[in-house]
Amino acid sequence: MRIAVLGGDGYCGWATALYLSNQGHSVAIIDNFIRRLWDYELGAQTLTPIRPMPERLRVWEELTGRSIELYTGDVTEYDFLSSCLREFSPDAVIHFAEQRSAPYSMIDRKHAVGTQVNNVVGTLNLLFTLREFLPDCHLVKLGTMGEYGTPNIDIEEGYITIQHNGRTDTLPFPKQPGSFYHLSKVHDSHNITFACKIWGLRATDLNHGVVYGTTTEETAMDEALINRFDYDEVFGTVLNRFCAQAALGYPLTVYGKGGQTRGFLDIRDTVRCVELACLNPAARGEFRVFNQFTEQFSVLDLAHLVKTAGEQMGMPVAIENLPDPRVEAEEHYFNAKHSKLIDLGLAPHFLSESLLDSLIEIAVRYRDRIDPSLFLPRVNWRKAKNERRMDAGAKAVHTV
């Protein structure tokens, strides 16, 4: 297939682009590299050293003989996006080109507005491009389980059948997003639903859980292909933060009681889920939703797993509870369905002790790059303005 990966320089996008190329698909990356600028804005860097994109692509072609096309620009610019997609003419478009951090969206007004402009406008531009020029192209959009929130009922895959006053209907599952970022993803879902209904587009929403892991078969081929390992309090995942803290002998910082429970999946499953969606496209006019995760853990579960793994590796690890800077339930019911991708053929990887060991080993290998000041939360959901080192970055979200 011909597959365009929007946001192919990011964590999920890079691993996906390499995987799809390695499977024999023709791949193009579209990116403006603003994710790297956000690191600069926040005074943070990924634990693993990321090479410039031209070097990454050159090494990939030298190793595999497969080339990946690159288009540099911003998806919020309609003329640029439509020109790229018309030229490449993909069978499927993978949409990763969004600001994906909830804490980043909650820094202040500019970051909230910048997040929603970037995400919602980019998706709308993509929808209009598909309508005008590529009506048969399948849109695969990376959604998030965070759209659902934490309801006190089982979470279905996108839709729920309800009975009300003697009548029955199947409706979109209620959305309870917890940040301006998650709200932007809900807006995306509504806009895509509407576009499929009125224009006959085809789309799949992959509501993914928290993704972990740095290594795939492809990124392990050469140091130049290594993927991101974000551990800071804005873009880092809780598991990455715990591994980095363990590597330095720093207490694992659990927000609140630690009962916050989410779905998780290995990066190797992420790339496979994307390919399965591409190989089994939605029908014309269909907007379908797959919940993309394989296991669920609480924050405290993960802390104890990392503590045990670290101690077995000879590193004493302590756990410390901090006041929760987020507005969220610290203990709640969580049971989400996730069978559709399994039905399509996903063979999941699970968070085993050996994988935890490898994550901690990566943190140890690059621990000279760890900045402990990035562990502690500085973004508070309850404040309208948070202290940051730089304020101009929010403008860059929609002007670069």
Rounded distance, CA 194 to CA 229, Å? 36
Using a 10 angstrom Cβ sphere, with 0-12 exposed, 13-18 middle and 19 or more buried, the burial of residue 32 is buried
- Residue 352, C-beta contacts closer than 8 angstroms, at least 6 positions apart: none
Rounded distance, CA 249 to CA 223, Å? 26
The C-alpha angle with vertex 273 and arms to 264 and 31, in degrees rounded to 5, equals 95
Q: Is 193 a catalytic residue?
A: no
Q: Which of 104, 77, 99, 196 is nearest to 144 (CA)?
A: 99
What are the strands of the beta sheet with 287-292, ordered from one edge? Answer: 69-72, 26-31, 2-6, 92-95, 138-144, 202-208, 287-292
CA dihedral 104, 335, 138, 121 (to 10 degrees): -30
Residue with tokens 């932007």: 184
> At 115, is the secondary structure helix, strand, or coil?
helix
Q: What is the DSSP string of 126-194?
A: HHHHHHHH-TTPEEEEEEEGGGT---SS-B-SSEEEEEETTEEEEEEPPP---SHHHHHHHHHHHHHHH
> At 364, is the secondary structure helix, strand, or coil?
helix
Catalytic residue among 19, 71, 181, 212: 181
Q: How many CA atoms lie within 13 A of 56 on its CB side?
A: 23
Q: Is 148 a catalytic residue?
A: no
Catalytic residue among 76, 123, 185, 219: 185
Q: Is 216 a catalytic residue?
A: no
Catalytic residue among 76, 144, 204, 219: 144
Rounded distance, CA 7 to CA 24, Å? 20
Q: Which of 351, 346, 94 is nearest to 238 (CA)?
A: 351
Residue with tokens 């990356």: 29
Amino acid identity, position 348: P
- Residue 209, C-beta contacts closer than 8 angstroms, at least 6 positions apart: 145, 262, 263, 264, 265, 291, 292, 293, 294, 296
Active site residues: 144, 181, 185
